[in-house]
Chains A and B, each alone.
Chain A
C-alpha cells in the first residue's frame, strides 16, 4: 500500500487573512452528509422514533408487569432519559462557536494543520452509508476541534458521543448538545431501561441519521499521550446495524489529532502521579481561559483511509444469521462480537500511523537521553544536530516527522514549551522546575501513595517531558525491545523471537497492539534494526549493532516502563495471603519507587511512578491469567498466582539495572540535578 505524500495546510491561514471572520462564520453552508436519507431526520424525530420503536415498547410492557408500575410512568422515564441523551442542532450556536473558536485558535495556535487531500478523499466517499469519525483522544480540545474542522470544511458536524461529565457543566452541557453532542453515562450498571434506550438511540442515529457519528474508541482522554486499548462498547452498538444488515455498510474513519502542546499537560502529569482530576465545572472552564495567554503551537489533523465494515469483515460471518426473527429482537451474536476487536485495533493502529511527530517530540527524546545517560548538558547546536539525527531514525521506522528548518523548528518548539524546557544562562538546555505550583487542596487527596511534595515537584517536569516522548514510542517499542534483549546476549532468530514475544505481550497494554500482528511487527522491527545498525547479524545469531548511541536512545525509551513492571511484580510477591486490592498495590508500588528515587546513586526515571503504567501492568497480568481480577463493592481485588508472577519478575530482572551501564549512569546529569534541588 503506497501512502500518498502527506501534506498539511493551515486551516487558519485564510481566516487570518480575511478582514472579518464574521462573513466566514455566517456563510451559506452546504455540508456533506454521511448517509443521505430519503427523509431528513431532525433531532426530535430520533427521540420520538426511539420511544415508538417495538423494542422499547416491548420492554416497557415487560417492566410494567414485572415492577407493577404503570406504563405511562415508565414511558415518562424513557422520555426523560432521551432528553438527557439526545443531541440537538442549532446552527446559530454552531456559527457563533465557530467564530469564537477561530478567534481563540488564531491567538493561541500557530496553526491548525489539516491534510486537506485526505479530507477531500473522505468527503467524496460520504453520502451512501453511515460514516463514523473515530479520532484519537488526547485533549478536551478534540471535541471542539473536530466540529470546527467539519464546519470549516463543509462536512456535516457529527453527532458526538460525550461523557456525562460535560453534561453537568452549567451552560457547557447545553452548548455541546446544541452542536451535536449526545451524552452517555459512564457507569455501567443493570439499569436496563437506560441502556436499552441508549443503545436504541445509537442504533437510530446509525440507521436513520444523516450525520456522521463521532466517538472516541479509547473511551477516555489518554493521560499518557499514548494510544489506549480500544474499548468495544460503543463500536459494538454502532456495528449492530451493520451485522443486522440494516445499513449497506459502515465507514469508520480513523482520525489523528496531534498536538504540539497539549492543553492539559500539567493536569495529566499530576493525574499520572495520583493527584485527582478536578471535576469538570464551568468555573474550571473559565479558569482554563488562562490558556489564552499561552502558546500552544501547531495542531495536526489527519484522516486515514475509511475502513469499510463490509470489506473488513468480508465473508467472516454468516450473513443470513439474523433472518429468522423480527429484526427488532435481533442482537449481535457472540461470533460477531469476536470480530470486533480486530477492527477496533485496526482503527487505533491507523490513528497512530497518521500521527505527526513534531520537533518537540524529538527534543524530548534527545533531552531525556542527555539527562539520563550523559555527563553534561547540551547546548542548542548540539540539540539541533541530535534532533536531525533522531529524525532520520524515526523516518526510517516509518514516522512522519514535521520539521522544516531544524534550527528554526527547535527554537519555535522551545518557545512553545518554555514551561518545560529552557535554555539556561550558560546556553545549556535543561528542564524547568520552578513552574510547578502544587494545589494544596488536591495533593491532600492523592489516589495512591502519599508522595512527598519534593517528589511531586521534582517528578512533574520529567513526566511532562515523557508525555512528549510517549506518542513516538509506538514507532520505537519493537526496536527498543529487540535492542534491550540483545544487549544482554546474542541470540538465534527463534530465541530472539521467544524473548521478544514475552516482552511485547507484557507491554501490549502499554503500547497497544493486537496479538495477530506480533510476528509481522517482529520481522519489520528486526529489518529496521539491521538497517539502522541497532542490530547486526553474526553468523546464525543476532547481536547488538555498531551504533551504540542509537541503541541507548532507543532502548532507553522503555527502561522506565520495564522498571515499573518489575516493581509491580516484587510488590505482588510480597503479599502474604495471595489476595491484594488494587489501591494497596498502587500505593505500595509508588512507595517503593519513591524510596528508590530518594536513594543515593539511584537512577530511577520518575515516570516509573505513573499509575497508568502500574494499572497497565495489572491488566496484562490479569489477561495472562497470572492475576485473577474480581470486583467487589468499592474495590478491585487481585488473586495472585505467585509462580506466574515470579516467572515474569525473573525474566524482567536482567533488564533492570544492567550492571555494565551502571557506572556511566551513576555519573549522569540526573543525579547532579537531583542533588541541586
Chain B
C-alpha cells in the first residue's frame, strides 16, 4: 500500500521459537474497525425505521441479527427519544482537511532512514489521535481534533523501539505509544499545546508471542498483541492467560500494563499486576528491566510498579512475560436474584469474606437488570424480566418487587467436580441473603452483554443520547452508601442542569478482601443541551467528587489519563506527585513521552 515502507523483520535469535500472530485487527485498522465508534465495522445497533425496531447487525455476537422489540419503546419512554430524527455522524474527512504534519523534512528523512514502517497520511494519524471517551467519539462524529499525531510509526520489535526513542530524544520529538486505542481516560489524546513533532508509536506490528515456557507456565509476548489474538493463540496450545477486560477484543497487552488493567476473571487468574512476571520498558535513558524471571523478588522497591500505570509518560513497554494457565476443563454460568441491591451486596461481601469467589461474580442493580432484559428478543417485557424463573413464585410467594430486585451473575471455571462444590457454596450463601438461583441463561447473557453494551453508545449518540460509564473501587463498609450517593448526586446534577431524561445505574464488578469495584452507567437525553460533552464532563466530575467524598478511588482500572488528573495529587499526596515527577525527570529528561497523563510534567 502506498505510504507504507516495506517491513524489515528483526533477525533476532528468537525467530525460530516465536509465533507470528496474524491479528484480527490489521495494520490498516479501518479495514475492520469503525473510524468513529466502538468495535467492528459490521457490528452495530441500528434502528430499522420500517419495523420500528432496533437490531444488532452481524454474526460476531450471539445477539446479532435478532430483533430487539422492547428497546425502542423503553428508550422512547425513558429518554423521550425521537427515532424519527437522527443525528448522523459526518463522513470520514477527506485527506486534505487534516492538520498538516508538523515535522521538518530533516526529521522526516531521519525517520525514513530508521527502516521502520511509517506514514504521514491524515487518516492514519486521525485513527491514532484518540481513545474511546465520549469526547473523542463525539468529536469524530460531529467536529474535528485540533491536534493529531504528525507521523505514525510501526516498529516491529524491541530494537526498533530503542532506535526510535533515541531518535526522538536526540531531535526533540514527542512519542505517544498507541496500542489498541481503547483508552477511556484520554490517555492517547495529543496535548493541544504540544508544538513539537508528535510521533504515534503504534505497537500493533509488535505482536509476536516470542516464547512459551510450559514448565514455568509463562509466555513472553511483545506488547502490541491484542487480547483476543493472545487468547486464541494460547488456546491452540492448550493455555489461557485468563486476562479478560471488557475491551479485550481490541486492547493490547502493553496497554494493560500501562494502565494497570483488570480482567473479569481476576478471581481465578489475577489482575495484570498478578499476571506480570517481567517487563521491558524502553526509556530515553535506556531499558528498564530485571536480570531474572522469578516468581517474586525482594530487592528494593519493585520497579514493575513504575512501569505499570505509567500511562505512556515514562517510556514504551515492549516485551512482557506473563503467566499462563492450562485451559479449564469446564466453564459454567449461573445467576442469583435478590429482593434488593443491599441484600445482593451483602451477599457479595460474604462471598469475599469466605474467599470463595468463582472466576467472576457481579451484581447488577435494578436499573441494569432491567436494561439487560431489554436487549432480549421476545414478546412481553414482564415475561422477559422473569425469564427462566417462576414469575408467580418470585413476585407473589417470595414477594420480590420487580422495581427493586437485582441479579448476581456468576462464571465458574475449573474441573466439573470443583465447580459443583463452588456452586453449592455460592448458592447457599445467596440463600442466606434472600437470594434464589435464577438459572444459567441469565448469567450467560449477562457476560455476553458485557461485550455488546459498548456498542450501544454509537446508536444512542445518533438519537441524541449521551451514554458513558465510569468506575471506582471502595472499601466494603462504604460501598452501599457510595452507590446511593453517586446516583443521587448525578440525578441532582441532571435536574439542576435542566436534563429531565437521564439514567444512572451501577453494578459491582469485582470483589476483593478489602472492598469491591463499582461501575456506573450514565445516560441522558442531550436534545436541549448545547454542549453535551461539556455537560457530561461536568456531571461526571461531580460524580467523581462524590465518589472521592464517599471513600472511593479515582479509578480501579481505567487509569488517570487526562480526564482524571484533577484528583491525582490528592490521591497520592504532594510527595507522591513529586516522586513521580522525579522519576519522570530521571527517565525522560527531555519529555519525549510528553503525553501529559497523570500530572503535567514541568521539566
Contact = CB atoms under 8 A, between A and B. Distances in A.
Interface of A: 38-39, 128-129, 207, 245-249, 319-320, 322-323, 326-328
B500 interface: no
A560 B175 CA distance: 81
B548 A320 contact: yes
Contact of B549 (A38, A39, A245, A328): A245
Contacts of B549: 245, 319-320
Contacts of B484: 248
A128 B491 contact: yes
A574 to B, nearest CB: 56
Given A326-B477, A327-B477, A327-B478, A39 B488 contact: no
B488 A245 contact: no
B550 A245 contact: yes
Interface residues of B, number: 21
Given A247-B485, A248-B488, A249-B488, A39 B477 contact: no
A101 to B, nearest CB: 35
Contact of A246 (B481, B492, B545, B546): B481
Contact of B489 (A38, A39, A248): A248
A245 B570 contact: no
B492 A245 contact: no
B355 interface: no
Contacts of A245: 478, 481, 485, 546, 549-551
5 contacts: A38-B404, A245-B551, A248-B488, A320-B549, A327-B478
Given A246-B481, A320-B570, A326-B477, A129 B488 contact: yes
A319 B475 CA distance: 16
B490 to A, nearest CB: 10
Contacts of A129: 488
Contact of A38 (B340, B475, B478, B550): B340
Nearest to B552: A323
B485 A323 contact: no
A20 to B, nearest CB: 37
Contacts of A246: 481
Contacts of A319: 545, 548-549
B387 interface: no
Contacts of B545: 319
B interface majority secondary structure: helix
Interface in B461-515: 475, 477-478, 481, 484-485, 488-489, 491-492
Ranked nearest first, the 7 interchain pairs of A and B with the lowest CB-CB distance are A248-B488, A319-B549, A245-B549, A248-B485, A323-B551, A245-B550, A327-B477
B341 interface: yes
Nearest to B553: A323
A415 to B, nearest CB: 49
B568 to A, nearest CB: 13
Contacts of A38: 340-342, 404
A interface majority secondary structure: loop
A319 B484 CA distance: 17
Contacts of B404: 38
B570 A128 contact: no
Which of B341, B545, B551 has its CB near the most chain A CB atoms (within 10 A)? B551
Contacts of B548: 319-320, 323
Contacts of B550: 245
A38 B403 CA distance: 10
Interface in B390-433: 404
Interface string B308-342: 00000000000000000000000000000000111
A129 B486 CA distance: 12
A128 B340 CA distance: 18
Given A319-B545, A319-B549, A322-B551, A248 B492 contact: yes
A121 to B, nearest CB: 14
B315 to A, nearest CB: 31
A142 B509 CA distance: 50
B492 A128 contact: yes
Nearest to B480: A38
A572 B491 CA distance: 59
Nearest to B487: A248
Nearest to B481: A246
A72 to B, nearest CB: 26
Which of A39, A128, A248 has its CB near the most chain B CB atoms (within 10 A)? A248
A32 B149 CA distance: 57
Given A248-B546, A327-B477, 10 more contacts: A38-B342, A128-B488, A128-B491, A128-B492, A245-B478, A245-B550, A248-B485, A248-B488, A249-B488, A320-B551
Nearest to A247: B485
Nearest to A318: B570
A327 B477 CA distance: 7
Nearest to A128: B488
Contacts of A328: 477
Nearest to A327: B477
Contacts of B340: 38-39
A11 B404 CA distance: 37
B492 A249 contact: yes
Contacts of B341: 38
B153 to A, nearest CB: 41
Interface in B509-560: 545-546, 548-551
B492 to A, nearest CB: 7
A629 to B, nearest CB: 38
B580 to A, nearest CB: 19
Nearest to B343: A39
B54 to A, nearest CB: 31
Given A248-B488, A326-B477, A39 B551 contact: no
Nearest to B474: A323
A469 B3 CA distance: 91
A440 B39 CA distance: 92
Contacts of A327: 475, 477-478, 551
Contacts of B485: 245, 247-248
Nearest to A129: B488
Contacts of B546: 245, 248
Nearest to A243: B549
A295 B359 CA distance: 75
Interface in B153-194: none
A39 B346 CA distance: 14
A246 to B, nearest CB: 5
Contacts of A128: 488, 491-492
Which of A129, A245, A249 has its CB near the most chain B CB atoms (within 10 A)? A245
A248 B485 CA distance: 5
Which of A38, A128, A246, A327 has its CB near the most chain B CB atoms (within 10 A)? A38
A129 B477 CA distance: 19
A39 B570 contact: no
A130 to B, nearest CB: 11
A323 B491 CA distance: 24
B199 to A, nearest CB: 38
A328 B481 CA distance: 13
Nearest to A321: B549
Nearest to A248: B488
Contacts of A39: 340, 342
Nearest to B401: A38
Interface in B340-361: 340-342
A641 B19 CA distance: 91
B147 to A, nearest CB: 32
B477 to A, nearest CB: 5
A249 B490 CA distance: 12
